Amino acid sequence: MGIQIKKVAAFVGLSLVGSSLQAALISESDIISDWSSETTLLYDIQSTANWGASGNTIANGGNMHGALVSDFSSVGDFGFRTSVRANDRDNDYMGIVFGWQDSDNSYGLGWGGGGVGSLYGFDGIGLYKEVDGVRTILASDAAVWRSGIVYGFEVGRSGNDIFASITQGGSTIFSARIADAAFMSGKVGFDTFSQSASFGFGRTDYSEATPVPEPGSLALLGLGIAGITLSRRKAVKSAS
HEC string of the chain? CHHHHHHHHHHHHHCCCEEEEEEEECCHHHHHHHCEEECCCCCCCCCCCCCEEECCEEECCCCEEEEEECCCCEECCEEEEEEEEECCCCCCEEEEEEEEEECCEEEEEEEECCCCHHHHCCCEEEEEEEECCEEEEEEEECCCCCCCCEEEEEEEEECCEEEEEEEECCEEEEEEEEECCCCCEEEEEEEEEEECEEEECCCCEEEEEEEECCHHHHHHHHHHHHHHHHHHHHHHHHHC
Instruction: Summarize pLDDT for 67-105 with one digit per residue, the tens.
Output: 999 999 999 999 999 999 999 777 888 999 999 999 999
Q: How far is CA 124 from CA 22, 51, 137, 139, 144, in A?
A: 31, 24, 12, 11, 6
Confidence (pTM): 0.79
pLDDT of the residue at 202: 93
Least confident piece of the model among 2-6, 51-55, 57-61, 118-122: 2-6
Domains, the chain = 1-16+213-228 (no CATH), 19-211 (2.60.120.200)
